[in-house]
Amino acid sequence: MTEKEYNQCVDLYADNLFRFIVKNLDHTEDARDVVQNAFEILWKHCKDVPFEKGKSYLFTVAYHNMIDHVRKVKRISLVDEFKEETKISEQRIHDAKKVLEKALDRLTDVQRSLILLKDYEGYSYEEIGDIMKLNPSQVKVYLHRARLHLKQYLVKMENVI
C-alpha cells in the first residue's frame, strides 16, 4: 500500500471504524485511542497490506485492540470494586435507546460486536468473519444466539418498562 492509498483508507474508513468502536466501548476518548492505534499499526505495516485488504485489516486490528482495552478496564474496575462497596440502584428505563443499550450490555463482547457489525454497520458474514477471525458459519450461529439473547431480554415487560 502506498502513502496515497493509506490516506484513502483514512478518508474511507475512519468514521465507520470510530462508530463501531465507540458503540462497543461507550467512551469517546478510549474509542479515539483504539482507532488511532489501528491506523498507526496499519501505517507501520502498510508495505505488507494491500489496499484491497485495508478495511478488513483496520477493523481486525481495532477489534483486537478494543478487546484488550476492555479486559484492562475490567481488571481495573474489579480492583476498584473490592476497595469500596458500591450499591447499584434499580431504575426503570423508559427510553427505547437506553433499553437497547442495556440489552446490548448484557451480551458478551463477541455477541455485541457481531450484532453491531451485522445489524448496525451492515457487513456481510464473510467480512465479519475476516474481522473477528471466525468462519461464516460460526458468524451465523453466534449471531443467531446473540439475537436470541436480545429477544429473551426485550420480550420481558419488566426490562422494557
User: Distance between CA 161 and CA 95 in Å, rounded?
Assistant: 9
Last residue of a domain, one of 22, 52, 82: 82
pLDDT tens per residue, range 23-33: 888 788 888 88
Residue 87 domain-assigned (yes or no):
no
User: Distance between CA 131 and CA 1 in Å, rounded?
Assistant: 19
pLDDT number for residue 81: 58
Residue 125 domain-assigned (yes or no):
yes
Percentage of the chain surpassing pLDDT 90? 11
User: Distance between CA 122 and CA 136 in Å, rounded?
Assistant: 15
Residue 62 domain-assigned (yes or no):
yes
One domain for residues 47 and 14: yes
pLDDT tens per residue, range 1-55: 888 888 888 888 888 889 888 888 878 888 888 899 899 999 998 888 888 888 8
One domain for residues 1 and 57: yes
Range of the domain at 29: 1-82
Q: Provide the number of structural domains found in the chain.
A: 2
Residue 4 domain-assigned (yes or no):
yes
Quick one: pLDDT band at residue 88, thresholds 50, 70, 90?
A: very low
Q: The domain that contains 5 carries what CATH number?
A: 1.10.1740
Last residue of a domain, one of 26, 51, 82: 82
Last residue of a domain, one of 47, 82, 117: 82
Q: The domain that contains 119 carries what CATH number?
A: 1.10.10.10
Quick one: pLDDT band at residue 94, thresholds 50, 70, 90?
A: low
CA atoms 27, 153, 16, 57: torsion sign: positive
Q: What is the pTM of this model?
A: 0.53
One domain for residues 57 and 134: no
One domain for residues 61 and 41: yes
One domain for residues 122 and 74: no
pLDDT number for residue 141: 93
One domain for residues 76 and 1: yes
One domain for residues 41 and 63: yes
For 21, 31, 125, the CA distances from 7, given in Å and listed in that order, are 20, 20, 27
One domain for residues 113 and 139: yes
